[in-house]
Amino acid sequence: MYPNPLKQKLKSGQLVLGTALPVFEPSVTTLSCQTGIDFLWIDTEHSPNGAESLGAIPVLARNQGVAPMIRVAWNDPHLIKKAFDVGAVAVMVPQVNTAEEAARAVQYAFYPPIGQRGVSPHWPLIAGEDWMNVIRTANDETVLIVQIESVQAYENLEAIAAVPGIDVLLVGPMDMSASVGKITDMQCEEVQSMMQEIPKRLAGADIVIGTTLGDVSELQQKYRWGYRFLNVGSPLGYGISALKQHIHTLRTKPGGEG
């Protein structure tokens, strides 16, 4: 369970795949973790829930060798600290637009001497891990992801990527579309051009580029562009899509005729 190998996979240049947890529920967590993923995206930015709602969900993921990745609601020391304390291997910070904001995220995410995060994690008590050992070695496991979601962030890309302590820059295509004035049009030329240029601009930099999409062919395209940290939709999204198709088939051809 500890340490989770996510950071080493990122450093070695492996393709890292995950999916988004649709509900904070143990059986859904367990089944999602049995799909072969490396990380489980637990969202506390847009969901109505916070870290206090997670219970043992991050520990369940850890037990199966999957890294719980919690997206916090903002670049806030209280939220980042709580996310790690309930068991996150990785924390994702949304809407990071400058190197100064990225540096603050590093300060909030790591224990001294790298950062300033307060020390008293809760998850080792649930997991039965050696509490003192986790504290002493946590910085070696901690993964920090910042989201690139605006034209401003794109313009500051190299400066953000140069901040020590950041492992992944995750491009958010939906917010990018809003930033260029074409909200929801993630396929617009401006968004796709930026997404294609980001790995090129950071070629040779010691940082991983990621994104989140639902269409497998588009994810494959992003891999060809240089993306190595990919969130692959969500079990709920794929399940609803399959169910809709099955219902349509049975409505139109209930006996399979024709």
Which pLDDT does position 258 carry in this prediction? 61
The amino acid that residue 72 corresponds to is V
Query: pLDDT of 41-89, one tens digit each?
Result: 999 999 999 999 999 999 999 999 999 999 999 999 999 999 999 999 9
Q: What crossing angle do the helices spanning 99-109 and 77-85 adopt, rounded to 10°?
A: 40
Beta bridge partners of 10: none
Q: What is the C-alpha to C-alpha distance for residues 115 and 148, in angstroms, rounded to an integer?
A: 22
pTM above 0.95, yes or no: yes
Which DSSP state fits 165? T
Which positions are catalytic?
46
Q: What is the C-alpha to C-alpha distance for residues 241 and 227, in angstroms, rounded to an integer?
A: 25
Residue 146 in contact with residue 93, Cβ under 8 Å? yes
Number of H helices, E strands in the chain: 13, 8
In CATH terms, the fold of domain 6-252 is TIM Barrel (3.20.20)
Query: pLDDT of 164-193, one tens digit each?
Result: 999 999 999 999 999 999 999 999 999 999
Query: pLDDT of 91-139, one tens digit each?
Result: 999 999 999 999 999 999 999 999 999 999 999 999 999 999 999 999 9
User: Positive or negative CA dihedral for 150, 41, 74, 208?
Assistant: negative
In the chain, where are the structural domains located?
6-252
CA distances from 100 to 94, 156, 159, 175 (A): 14, 10, 9, 20
